[in-house]
Amino acid sequence: MIDRLKSMINGVEADFIDIRYEIKSETKIGFTGREIKSVGSNRTDGYVIRVGKNGGFSSATVTKEEDVPRAVELALEGANTIVATGGKRSVLAEVPVVEKNIGLVLDGDPGEVSIDEKIELTRKYNDLMLQQPLIETTNLSYREIGRKKHYVNSEGTSVSEEIITTNISGEVVAKRDNLVQNIRLSIGGADGYSRLLKREDIFIKRAKIAEQLLDAEPVKGGTYNVILSPLLAGVFTHEAFGHFSEADIIEDNPSLRKKMALGKKLGSDVISIIADSTMSGQLGYYVYDDEGVAVKPVTLMDKGVLTGRLHSRRTAEAFGEPVSGHAVAEDMRYEPIVRMGTIYIKPGEKSLDELFAELGDGLYLIDGKGGQTSGENFTFGAQYGFKVKNGKKGAMIRDINIMGNLFTTLRNIEAVGNDLELSESGGCGKGQLNIKSALGGPHVLIRNMVVGGV
């Protein structure tokens, strides 16, 4: 395939051209309640072309091989128009030329497991939840997505890499009269099928939490001191801080670039944040990004000081900072953009008991329920939580959403726990959906968070 791709871009009059061909495979099994709603294994493919010429840079994606010449034309037209209209000049940072073929390292190859076994595993977990007395229904899906990528550029780099992500995820719904409460759940990762086995406890536990939420109080809106659970701290890290560490987000906003200058003290002394997609076994794991650059761990924040940023080749050159290998696309429909892989808060030294004692009165908020950022403002939901009085966990609460300003919140982080948990499934939307987005951290104590309540 690599030779075919090379022949497709040979002779194109440009300063730089690359092409990525990808075969995407997907196996999906879906249950709604006791009913199986979908089963299927499918495979599809497509091409992504990027061209740099005279400082202009543009891309085009096509499904069919016969459309590749048209894609090259469109990308050239885009690059030329950017130059002609005085648009942004793009230069790619220099990186080593490599020829690599990266295979799968899996604990249990899902490709060797029959569809019937996958159905039965998903059904077993689904039934465990439905057996709980107040559970009305479930939505549970097995999803296995494979990306086999072949990348070639005009500098001589060629990389082939295969990645498979498997997970079982969904929600469990409890109901009493007209009150409906749901809890999300997910298991999985990028390290093979074995991770999905013997996980019965999680499904039973999540179903019981959904049932308990029927008796929980809606949280009262206001400003609170809070402890975030590891996965919720991860949502904050990803949504509020992580996106701002993606160079393409702030690149064309001068005021934000100033605020996010490396060396600035933005957080309290206790907070350090790391992006590390090289950690094996994690959901965000990969070796080469979608422009043929090896991914590197980056310490984004060290004791409150901004120390690193996530880059594509283009943004690394524009910022004059090191390349990090974070240009990633959802699949063959998209050009790569700067993405987090695995991001987490570095654990500190305090136990959960010590954090509760330090909190005194406030809220303990657990597990993420989606988040969104707009510039420095963020919001994210918690799946459930508890009131805390005099350092003791009290009544369960529900309907929790938090809003804040990134910079204020980073300064308000008062203590960091000594534990660490990383998410097993992801789904970060930034124009494209990145399912290989892992996040997490330890428990974290933050002062003065705005909590919206009913």
Output 297 or 452, the one with its CB closest to another protein.
Answer: 452
26, two tokens: 């997907």
* Count, residues near another protein per rule CB under 8 A: 91
Handedness of CA 228, 231, 234, 240 (dihedral sign): negative
Q: Which stretch binds another protein (CB under 8 A): 155-163, 220-228, 267-275, 303-311?
A: 220-228
Q: How far is the CB of 350 from another protein (least distance, A)?
A: 26
Output 82 or 446, the one with its CB closest to another protein.
Answer: 82
Q: How far is CA 58 from CA 19, 70, 159, 330, 404, in A?
A: 12, 13, 21, 18, 35
Choose, by CB under 8 A, the member of 21, 53, 78, 300 that binds another protein. 78
Choose, by CB under 8 A, the member of 111, 218, 281, 360 that binds another protein. 218
Those residues whose C-beta lies under 8 Å from the C-beta of residue 244, and which sit 6 or more positions away, are: 250, 256, 260, 373, 376, 406
Output 60 or 274, the one with its CB closest to another protein.
Answer: 60
* Residue 407, φ and ψ in degrees, nearest 5: -70, -40
Choose, by CB under 8 A, the member of 1, 7, 69, 88 that binds another protein. 88
Q: How far is the CB of 283 from another protein (least distance, A)?
A: 18
Query: Binding string to another protein for residues 397 to 416, with x set by CB under 8 A, is what?
Result: -xxxx-xxx--x--------
List the interface residues with another protein, window 282-321 (CB under 8 A).
Answer: none
Q: Largest alpha-carbon pair distance within the chain?
A: 72
Q: Which stretch binds another protein (CB under 8 A): 102-110, 125-133, 173-181, 350-358?
A: 173-181
Output 26 or 421, the one with its CB closest to another protein.
Answer: 26
Q: What share of the chain is helix, strand, coil (3-state, %, to 5)?
A: 25, 40, 35
Q: Long-range contact list for 97-100, CB < 8 A, 24+ apart?
A: 97/155, 97/156, 97/157, 98/157, 98/158, 98/159, 98/288, 98/292, 98/294, 99/156, 99/157, 99/158, 99/159, 100/158, 100/159, 100/160, 100/161, 100/287, 100/288
Choose, by CB under 8 A, the member of 166, 380, 385, 425 that binds another protein. 380
Q: How far is the CB of 121 from another protein (least distance, A)?
A: 14
20 closest CA partner among 57, 51, 56? 51
List the interface residues with another protein, window 35-74 (CB under 8 A).
Answer: 35-46, 58-64, 67, 70-71, 74
* CB 230, CB 376: distance < 8 Å: no
Output 249 or 445, the one with its CB closest to another protein.
Answer: 249
Q: Which stretch binds another protein (CB under 8 A): 146-154, 186-194, 296-304, 396-404?
A: 396-404
Those residues whose C-beta lies under 8 Å from the C-beta of residue 15, and which sit 6 or more positions away, are: 52, 53, 54
Q: Which stretch binds another protein (CB under 8 A): 5-13, 343-351, 363-371, 414-422?
A: 363-371
* CB 431, CB 333: distance < 8 Å: no
Query: Three-class SS of residue 294?
Result: strand
List the interface residues with another protein, window 106-125 (CB under 8 A).
Answer: 115, 119
Q: How far is the CB of 161 from another protein (least distance, A)?
A: 20
Choose, by CB under 8 A, the member of 165, 182, 225, 434 that binds another protein. 182
Q: How far is the CB of 82 from another protein (least distance, A)?
A: 5
Does 75 participate in binding another protein (rule CB under 8 A)? yes
Those residues whose C-beta lies under 8 Å from the C-beta of residue 373, and which sit 6 or more positions away, are: 239, 240, 243, 244, 379, 406
Q: Which stretch binds another protein (CB under 8 A): 1-9, 331-339, 348-356, 436-444?
A: 331-339
Cα separation, 281 vs 192, in Å, equals: 9
Q: How far is the CB of 362 from another protein (least distance, A)?
A: 15
* CB 269, CB 303: distance < 8 Å: yes
Q: Which helix (H) or strand (E) covers residue 399, if one does?
A: none
List the interface residues with another protein, window 126-145 (CB under 8 A).
Answer: 136-137
* CB 380, CB 406: distance < 8 Å: no
Q: How far is the CB of 418 from another protein (least distance, A)?
A: 29
Q: How far is the CB of 135 from another protein (least distance, A)?
A: 10
196, two tokens: 């999905």
List the interface residues with another protein, window 222-251 (CB under 8 A).
Answer: 222-223, 251
Query: Binding string to another protein for residues 19 to 38, with x set by CB under 8 A, is what?
Result: -------x--x--xx-xxxx
Those residues whose C-beta lies under 8 Å from the C-beta of residue 236, and which sit 6 or more positions away, are: 228, 371, 378, 380, 409, 444
